[in-house]
Amino acid sequence: MMQENSTSPLAGLRVLDVGVMLAGPYAATLLGDMGAEVIKIESHHGDEGRHFGMQRGGESGPYLSVNRSKRGIVLDLRRPQAQEVFGRLAATADILITNVREPGLTRFGINYEQVRAHKPDIIWVGVTAFGADGPYAGRPGVDFLAQGYAGAIRFNGEPSGGPVRMGVTVVDVMTSLLAANAALAALHVRNTTGQGQCVNVSLLDAMMHAQAGFVGSFLGTGERMPRTGNRSNVFAPSGIYPTRDGKEVIITSPSQKFFPKICRALEADWDKDPRFLDVALRRANHDELDRLMSERTRQIDRDELIDRLVAADVLTAPVNDLDDIVKDPQILHNNMIVSLPHPELGHVEVTGVPIHFSGTPALVKRHPPMQGEHTREVLTEAGYSTAEVDAMIAEGFAADRSEILRLKAARGMQQESKT
């Protein structure tokens, strides 16, 4: 068994992750990275994230990417016997995070009042799509829908085209960060008052929070921000420009001082052209300025162009592909790609911890657990004997790794017999 890092910021805390997919489980992951002991509780079916995306050795890429720094157990919370086991675990927990919606919450025995009966000062964090109550409460929802309700899709895309979904699941990720932040704020309250509480976070609220600029501007001035593609609403130049080797770079100029730097780096005198003397003129003539800049950037390979722009103190970045990202020297320096030993896959690489502490370092400490991998370990720690755990597995309200593999093999044989 891997020892928890006692010097991590959240060492000594226990978190129960009773969620699926991304927004709930990823919040628990961040707490685990910061030192909390996280126990992921799954059904025999498993986290939905295990069942889609590219597979490696029977493990899903999306699941592997989100669920590091945890131990995993399997309980069938539809059954009273499993809920009794859950209650014993909940009594030892500090924080519970879930994105299961009603009526499942109550049927599985994991709503706030049910968990509070096991641990009166529990910090219970519920993640929903649109809110814990109100006109949309209880509806199913995902990142894409929150982008639509909050209008984010309307702002995204080219001016001449239609709305475009943001490809990265930014709403799920932002919600996970808010959920982790909320849990720690509630923990501070408990440390002060001794009282736990129920905390609710939603995808919709996270997206509204992220749009303070767009929505706030409309509320304050009535101004409607148009879609601008890769351009800025307020300054110019700003865009993506081609290079000689078929790649692309971002160049942007959020204040007047940067435009002459761009001109010097590209060996041009556009800052003396009457059409481009200030931000308003450059915005009015953005098409022509982009044409001139693109003609120039097409004469230079990407890496040389980046070096030249960086040397001139220009705001620039390459448009990286995944192959570039995983080799980027700053990303690697920041330990945002981490390799972990895995009992079946050899090693897995996952993204790292985005928070850096000087005195109490956080770290990715465990591989993403295989389904049922730690059932026996966790239940034994909870006081159950080997015989009792054997009985739970035999009766089907818990499962260890061997039982999960047996059930998968049996399902496979059934499917073969049907064909």
How much is the average pLDDT of 247-273? 96
**Cα Dmax for the chain:** 85
CA distances from 121 to 118, 187, 198, 203, 207 (A): 9, 10, 10, 26, 30
Write down the pLDDT at residue 1.
37
Tokens of 302: 């990407």
* C-alpha–C-alpha distance, residues 400 and 57, integer Å: 18
Residue that wins the pLDDT comparison between 153 and 395: 395
Residue 155: pLDDT above 60?
Answer: yes
Gyration radius of the chain over CA positions: 26
* C-alpha–C-alpha distance, residues 202 and 27, integer Å: 13
Write down the pLDDT at residue 174.
97
Tokens of 161: 């085209």
pLDDT, the chain, mean: 94
Alpha helix locations (H) across 222-311? Answer: 258-265, 279-284, 286-297, 302-311
| 90, 124 contact by CB (below 8 A) | no
For the whole model, what pTM was predicted? 0.92
Could you tell me the end-to-end alpha-carbon distance of the chain, in angstroms, rounded to an integer? 42
Residue 86: pLDDT above 70?
Answer: yes
Tens of pLDDT, residues 216-234: 888 899 888 888 888 888 8
Residue 414: pLDDT above 80?
Answer: no
- pLDDT-derived band at 213 (thresholds 50, 70, 90) equals confident
Share in percent of the chain as helix, strand, coil (round to 5): 45, 15, 40
* C-alpha–C-alpha distance, residues 87 and 77, integer Å: 11
Tens of pLDDT, residues 306-356: 999 999 999 999 999 999 999 999 999 999 999 999 999 999 999 999 999
What residue ranges define each of the domains in the chain, with the CATH number in brackets?
Answer: 14-210+329-413 (3.40.50.10540), 238-242+248-318 (3.30.1540.10)
Residues 6+ apart with CB under 8 A from 114: 106
Write down the pLDDT at residue 84.
97
Alpha helix locations (H) across 34-169? Answer: 61-66, 80-90, 104-107, 112-118, 143-149, 152-155
Residue 3: pLDDT above 50?
Answer: no
